[in-house]
Amino acid sequence: MTSLRTRERLIQRLRDQGVTNMRVLDVMLNTPRHIFLDEALSHRAYEDTALPIGHGQTISQPYIVARMTEVLLGAAGGNLQKVLEVGTGSGYQTSVLAQLVPQVYSVERIKPLQDKARDRLRQLGLRNVQMRHADGGFGWPEAGPYDGIISTAAPQAIPDELLKQLAPGGVLVIPVGGREQQLHLVIRDGESDKFVTRVLEPVKFVPFLSGTAR
């Protein structure tokens, strides 16, 4: 179930769906997604689907992890030193980012999920991730600005704070909407307060909620 063949099949599926960034595909081939799931579900880890991780949340579908990471890297034009992730969840997307970006900051509102994710990243030896238990709607201003921000939960509208914490030329990748959601790419136009937005494709994420939970 965790064999190289099984993982290779998943990577082939991602390529069939249009993912082309070889660095992203290579990192995903070598990241053990099964350790981000409870044992009862780990046999399904290399299926291309979202799966429950408790607390009403899900680990993102591999295709969407690949796609968002590829969009982030592509739009930032090789200039990605520091990234903020909102919605650590299982830590799977975090671990993919941590292998591609020097500094990763990740915010999660549900404490037990964050604690498990921290253990998994440690287990993988990924030491370039800082985590915070907080409402990501406020970003993480003390550590910003960020070259990239990625949200793995969908707000109804893009929080202003996230836009404010983008560095000049910084890139935000975020699902937006309720029952119907679209993946958005927002790029800060130089030093200005102008933002260029592109709507990429329909997606399905858990809602972006305010406040924190223990």
Distance CA 126, CA 118 (A): 10
Contact set with ligand SAH (CB under 6 A): 53, 57-60, 86-87, 89-90, 92-93, 107-110, 113, 135-137, 152-153, 206, 208-210
Cis preceding linkage at 207, omega within 30: no
Give 181's contacts (C-beta < 8 A, 6+ positions apart). Answer: 154, 175, 202, 203, 204, 205
**Locate tokens 């070259």: which residue?**
147
Specify the residue, 53 or 66, whose C-beta has the smaller distance to ligand SAH: 53
Q: CB of 95: closest distance to ligand SAH in angstroms?
A: 9
Specify the residue, 200 or 206, whose C-beta has the smaller distance to ligand SAH: 206
Q: CB of 126: closest distance to ligand SAH in angstroms?
A: 15
Q: CB of 1: closest distance to ligand SAH in angstroms?
A: 19
User: 182: buried, middle or exposed (CB in 10 Å: 19+, 13-18, 0-12)?
Assistant: middle
Q: CB of 166: closest distance to ligand SAH in angstroms?
A: 17
Pairing of strands 51-54, 103-108: unpaired
* C-beta atoms surrounding 43 within 10 Å: 13
Specify the residue, 110 or 149, whose C-beta has the smaller distance to ligand SAH: 110
Residues with active-site annotation: 60
Distance CA 86, CA 80 (A): 17
